Chains A and B, each alone.
Chain A
């Protein structure tokens, strides 16, 4: 593992939680550094939402602790957290700005500061419509942006977002990505968000936590995950060679092949150049190179 320049702020330590006979969390531990964006991925029901709810104190863990800057989390600490729950929720009949100001004040932001910040966020997030309109009169996309504003309005030091990108159009995705980036880099907030859009996670996150069956299956930067998980895969495209040309190289196993393209997994000690030589002797090599597995592929490999 690399050592991070940023200090750890949030620690989840051996969290366990059951719902009746269902084990939702079976000893989840990970840390989130200051100013970093951490992607939280896993299949449906893997325990993402439960872990996030416990981190925020909305739900109690059966066992384990959550620490913030080395201390147990109390009410005063939690007021510095921002949350966007999976189940979106706002008062439908309350006016947009009024609602944001109210939520900020619940977390201790003074009234005037809350109003200024709310209005600023509505502009930044490109919320279309009258800030004094009732929430229920906004389109779903706009409601989603207001929901995000509600998580950000008190300038939290920790942002926990449960599926913030679901339901957003591509422009919305870009706006939200930029806002999260800025929160991390400019305000030094630690950001944790869950998503099933793995390409987005790959692009946006400094680190990824992969959770499976209530346990952390993998945690690290994308590069680290690749290094620790990825197989030594090479893609070779040859024209005019016989099928199975690679079989003369010991330690080269085809993962898939067809239409002149073969994906070879090379065992330790197999020189890729040896593979290339064999390929060239069999036909015209059109393409040759190592394959970087996407997060999606790593994900499938881990949870398989």
Chain B
């Protein structure tokens, strides 16, 4: 490839980058992404999405009840659970608060009342504190020295351990993996679609013949895929930065390092997935002349990406299920399924290596196939070009 040829695809890439950047749909997709991320991150920050639980406990009664409630809050704090204690003057006030939803449960002498039900953790915390208070009262009656009383009620008598501990911050990781796969799905599908519509635009406006009298079809295709891909990458970087910033600021993400690592992973897999799908989208676009016909030719690609996305979301629950493992290794779905498993720490090294090898290999193999179909079809306007004809014409 001569220097002049390189210049040509660069010009195409730069034009496509700026044209798409200025398009209304780019602005809309950016805002939409920011909105979805904000909702997810803020929901998580307020504990709505499986984050650390947070309780509001109402108290009615004397100093004993308040002491039990405060002891429960202290226990909660030790377990990284936030608990606010709210004393009420009368049982009626407390009931109103319970009905209004400003407290999760009300502790009154000898009773813990909830609205529809009470979180098991909250029950356990309050029960334990109440039990400890009762035991302490008995000890006090028998004049057990203060130091012994405290020693008896303080530490948990059991060391808790598990055989197969989940990776640390499992919840955090699942949330990050979910946001990541959602973004990846949007980017792969959206930017692939842009490649296809870009090809159709040039075909339907007939400028493609002008362009192809100046540069080779492959340069035009390469420039278009690169320009749009770089824009997709920039948008992904910006959104990931926004998500991590917002998540850290609101406390939704406890360990920013994990989120940054996950974002880097997603960006890497976006590049690979885009490389895999983009030439297919371009080839599909070159088969038709009008935007309205696009739907007919990209259904197979759409479905593939959609099914990969659904499997990937499913694998958040069980990242080592057979279907999750297979999907993360097959090139058609790896770009969505593998990053989820990697963020969850569920993918062994050999699977990652195999998946990468297959995806990179097939992306490299697909580029010339897509380019050939594109070359064979892009100058044929009018009715939809058959795949076989496009292949033969090139």
Contacts and interface: CB of A to CB of B under 8 A. Distances in A.
A88 B206 contact: yes
Contacts of B15: 102
Contacts of B7: 108
A75 B5 contact: yes
B147 interface: no
A93 B202 CA distance: 11
B213 A83 contact: yes
A85 B206 contact: yes
Interface stretch (A54-62, A197-205, A239-247): A54-62
Interface string A41-81: 00000000000010011110000000000000001101101
A106 B8 contact: yes
Contacts of A79: 4, 214
A75 B216 CA distance: 8
A58 B207 contact: no
B2 A75 contact: yes
Contacts of B208: 89
Contacts of B210: 83, 85, 89-90, 103, 150
Nearest to B210: A89
Contacts of A108: 4, 7
A106 B207 contact: no
Nearest to B201: A91
B134 interface: no
A102 B4 contact: no
Given A102-B11, A102-B15, A87 B4 contact: no
Contact of A106 (B2, B211, B379): B211
A141 interface: no
B4 A75 contact: yes
Nearest to B375: A60
A103 B210 CA distance: 8
Contacts of A167: none
Chain A residues touching B, range: 20 to 34
Nearest to B381: A87
A76 B213 CA distance: 11
A105 B381 CA distance: 26
A283 interface: no
Contacts of A107: 214
A120 B19 CA distance: 25
A56 B379 CA distance: 14
Which of B4, B213, B379 counts the most chain A CB atoms within 10 A? B213
B2 A85 contact: no
A7 interface: no
A106 B215 contact: yes
Contacts of A56: 213
Chain B residues touching A, range: 20 to 34
A189 B8 CA distance: 24
B207 A78 contact: no
Contacts of A53: 209
Contacts of B211: 106
Contacts of A88: 206
B3 to A, nearest CB: 10
A129 interface: no
A290 interface: no
Contacts of A59: 379
A92 interface: yes
Interface in B1-58: 2, 4-5, 7-8, 11-12, 15, 19
B301 interface: no
Contacts of B215: 75, 106
A43 B227 CA distance: 43
Nearest to B23: A93
Nearest to B389: A20
Nearest to A55: B213
Contacts of B207: 89-91
B22 to A, nearest CB: 10
A88 B4 CA distance: 26
Contacts of B4: 75-76, 79, 108
B212 interface: yes
B11 A58 contact: no
B205 interface: yes
Interface in B213-231: 213-216
B213 A57 contact: yes
Contacts of B11: 102, 105-106
B23 to A, nearest CB: 9
Interface in B166-207: 201-202, 205-207
Contact of A81 (B202, B206, B209, B213): B213
A99 to B, nearest CB: 9
Interface string B292-329: 00000000000000000000000000000000000000
5 contacts: A75-B2, A75-B5, A85-B206, A89-B205, A106-B214
Given A79-B214, A85-B213, A102-B15, 16 more contacts: A75-B4, A76-B2, A76-B4, A85-B206, A85-B209, A87-B209, A87-B381, A89-B206, A89-B207, A91-B201, A91-B205, A105-B11, A106-B8, A106-B11, A106-B214, A108-B4
